[in-house]
A and B are shown apart, each in its own frame.
Chain A
């Protein structure tokens, strides 16, 4: 089984619908992230969470919200989907070294492809 699991893997929806993408991890990492991938733009950070009580906006948080239900679960919601939110979404985790430093190495899920018509 994958260490970082995303559901659903594919979703087609209509403009205005509410969508939730879910992420769960078995790596025991405290830090979790949501990215979106668009061709030619690489990955852009939507939201991140350093622990259950910590939620932070990333580069492109408008139109999105998140919930950290537990250390292992981090979900991304689109309250009212629009076509330019059509993208491949990735959940990722990271951990700290024993020194407390975060090297930035990320562990990714397999992605959730969302199409908004």
Chain B
């Protein structure tokens, strides 16, 4: 079985500051990794994903994440946040063998202040 830990439940940050949202996972097999974003009163949408290849993954809205296999981490970063980035962010992991489902972390609420 796999698990995902998002170390911060809330991250307050000022507009135009950099931000990092942390995600660690555990799995006995190789995994695919995802970050989803949930804006207020909406469903989740994919921000970025790591399947294989380069460990630095770029997503939408200027976000990027780096897969670190030795530390079993997949932290999300943005160099300069906007008010519109205020949302809840979910890290998710899926073992790459067939038939497995996504496991989500508990979420991190990013609050961007003016």
* Chain A residues engaging chain B, CB cutoff 8 angstroms: 4, 33, 40-45, 48, 58, 90, 92, 101-106, 108-111
Smallest CB separation, B107 vs chain A (Å): 5
Smallest CB separation, A117 vs chain B (Å): 22
Most central of A48, A106, A109 by chain B CB within 10 Å: A106
The distance in angstroms between the C-alpha atoms of A105 and B93, with both chains bound, is: 10
23 A–B contacts from the bound complex (CB under 8 Å): A42-B104, A42-B106, A43-B44, A43-B90, A45-B101, A45-B102, A48-B101, A58-B101, A92-B43, A92-B44, A101-B98, A102-B98, A103-B32, A103-B51, A103-B94, A104-B92, A104-B101, A105-B49, A106-B102, A108-B43, A110-B42, A111-B42, A111-B43
Which residues of the partner chain B approach A4 to less than 8 Å between Cβ atoms? 43
Interface contacts (Cβ under 8 Å), in number, total 54
Contact residue among A42, A58, A104 (Cβ-Cβ distance under 8 Å from B32): A104
Q: Name which residue of chain B comes closest to A38, CB basis.
A: B106
The distance in angstroms between the C-alpha atoms of A4 and B43, with both chains bound, is: 10
Which residues of the partner chain B approach A40 to less than 8 Å between Cβ atoms? 9, 106-107
The distance in angstroms between the C-alpha atoms of A77 and B46, with both chains bound, is: 27
Q: With A40-B9, A42-B104, A45-B101 known to touch, is A105 a contact of B34 (CB < 8 Å)?
A: yes
